[in-house]
Structure 1
């Protein structure tokens, strides 16, 4: 009897010890939790669960069916340092979706269907060291997209549809060590490619090409122009097929905002000048008709008529309009 009681007691002690060493509370539906729910992995989801533990450090959502995100999907997860959204069906990101992830170190958004990104979508991620945007359908990047990512060390932009990057796009990335840019639609016939070309030349050791199998070696020549094998870093102002690309000041003067203003002014001038001309012609016509009618209907003396006729334009008008 004592032996049986001892065994029961030992069993409960072991059980209670196991309970204390693990978190037995329920994990989010479709997710598994490890390390006292500090690491959460979810599969087979179409939406981000709204009951993920608030102090989770790692959230792995790769290989799900996420086609869109709520703007507040991660707002309660301020402790996250790792977020993986690779291999989903995301076509865009809502503004502010990452605003509360102030401790995030690594963000993976590769292998989705992203066609565009909201301006300043990464501004709150000031601790980010790793950002993957590869294997998407990005055609352009907003101005200043990476300006706040001063701690970023790795940036993947490979396998998109980028034709160029905004001026000074990478200038704030002082700690960048690795960037991938190959397999994009770099348009080397446009002056917009000149910033990227010069940046690659200056930062050649950071430009990597993982297709070569030599991941640690730079490959700045591997970033090539659309439709050719010419390296983007070989493109200069003289060989962009333009008649000399404008300077920065000139580019600012012909920026979209400036162009719109100029076009608006041109339209206004085209509208204003004809109207003014028509108004002047109508005014002159009416005045001349009235003046000539006075001359010919009020029996003005011939002497006055001859004097007025010395004015060639008035003579012609009155002769033509004589009743």
Structure 2
């Protein structure tokens, strides 16, 4: 009897669990659900619903009125493979918002108002193959923001306000075959552009324009000109102190470029300063020595000046 009761209990638990996981008749307010495709599409929302089906594989939130995301908005949706947030009003992303989306393959964040990205915001998305950040207001990228995306095949960064990318930004993207970079404010007068310029020269077939085409020029042009970024080298930037490619490879963070540039400039200016100081000291010592040895001042002053060790030595050396 006990064994029979145990079997019945297990049967009902399995049955109820199956019904719950496949219950697509109760869809979130403002959303439509397709149980066959395991997809949820929502319209007219200002917040992400908290009762989206946990086994959903596709969540389409494009063209809503989302201005911010709760840090835990997607934490229960660890089976999602597609998340579309295109065409909302997002200005920032909370750290950790994508941490539980370990199966995600496609992420659309284009046509928002993003000005910056949290550090390591994509680190958990190791299966991601498509990431679109186009048509935002990004002014910079965090160091290592794409480092974990080794499966990424398409990356869209076009139509932002980027002036450069961190040194090594694309080095770990071993699967990348499409990269959109056009319509940005690429600053070709800065040393920081040299990494991007060299990367494009080495990977010209990966840099595309609209429609996924490869064109020459590729549309990646310097701010205010039609000059291609890929033609920029150390020699034709106005920054005389740009480090060599070897130095850049040895120091991965882009921020070190500025430090190295300052170091070079300091080395260039120090000899001039040293010469100036030596000349000034020499002229001053000659004056004081003349005062001492011609006795144009009282003996008391002469004795005081002579008590200054360095000056005394100089005067002794200079004494005729």
Fold shared, TM-score > 0.5 on shorter chain: yes
SS in 2 for 1:221: coil
Cα 1:203–1:37, aligned 2, differ >3 Å: closer, same or farther? Answer: closer
Cα 1:135–1:313, aligned 2, differ >3 Å: closer, same or farther? Answer: same
Partner of 2:201: 201
1:221 matches 2:230: no
Give the length in aligned residue pairs. Answer: 249
SS in 2 for 1:155: strand
1:75 matches 2:75: yes
Partner of 1:142: 142
Partner of 1:124: 124
Cα 1:152–1:311, aligned 2, differ >3 Å: closer, same or farther? Answer: same
Partner of 1:232: 229
What's the CA shift for 1:245? 1.1
Q: Deviations over 1:142-162 (max 9, x none)?
A: 010100000000000000000
What's the CA shift for 1:257? 11
What's the CA shift for 1:310? 11
Hey, what's the Cα distance between the residues in 2 that align with 1:241 and 1:30? 55
What's the CA shift for 1:243? 1.4
| 8 Å CA contact 1:58, 1:81 repeated in 2 | yes
1:183 matches 2:183: yes
Structure 2 gap ranges (5+): 1-18, 264-299, 309-320
What's the CA shift for 1:313? 2.1
1:267-306 alignment to 2 at 5 Å? none
Residue number among 286, 291, 312 corresponding to 2:303 in the alignment: 312
Q: Deviations over 1:248-295 (max 9, x none)?
A: 648959947995xx99xxxxxxxxxxxxxxxxxxxxxxxxxxxxxxxx
SS in 2 for 1:196: helix
Hey, what's the Cα distance between the residues in 2 that align with 1:315 and 1:177? 78
Hey, what's the Cα distance between the residues in 1 that align with 2:178 and 2:150? 14
| 8 Å CA contact 2:105, 2:130 repeated in 1 | yes
| 8 Å CA contact 2:56, 2:80 repeated in 1 | yes
1:10-159 alignment to 2 at 5 Å? 23=23, 25-36=25-36, 38-159=38-159
| 8 Å CA contact 1:27, 1:37 repeated in 2 | no
SS in 2 for 1:312: helix
Partner of 1:290: none
| 8 Å CA contact 2:24, 2:34 repeated in 1 | no
Structure showing greater radius of gyration is: 1
| 8 Å CA contact 1:39, 1:57 repeated in 2 | yes
Cα 1:52–1:233, aligned 2, differ >3 Å: closer, same or farther? Answer: same
Q: Deviations over 1:130-185 (max 9, x none)?
A: 00000000000001010000000000000000000000000000110101000000
| 8 Å CA contact 1:185, 1:226 repeated in 2 | yes
What's the CA shift for 1:222? 1.6
| 8 Å CA contact 2:208, 2:218 repeated in 1 | no
Q: Deviations over 1:185-206 (max 9, x none)?
A: 0000001000000000000000
| 8 Å CA contact 2:242, 2:257 repeated in 1 | no
| 8 Å CA contact 2:24, 2:35 repeated in 1 | no
What's the CA shift for 1:241? 1.5
Partner of 1:5: none
SS in 2 for 1:40: strand
Cα 1:24–1:223, aligned 2, differ >3 Å: closer, same or farther? Answer: closer
Structure 1 gap ranges (5+): 1-18, 264-308, 318-323
SS in 1 for 2:136: coil
What's the CA shift for 1:316? 8.5
Cα 1:137–1:55, aligned 2, differ >3 Å: closer, same or farther? Answer: same
Hey, what's the Cα distance between the residues in 2 that align with 1:133 and 1:219? 23
Q: TM-score, normalized by length of structure 2?
A: 0.71
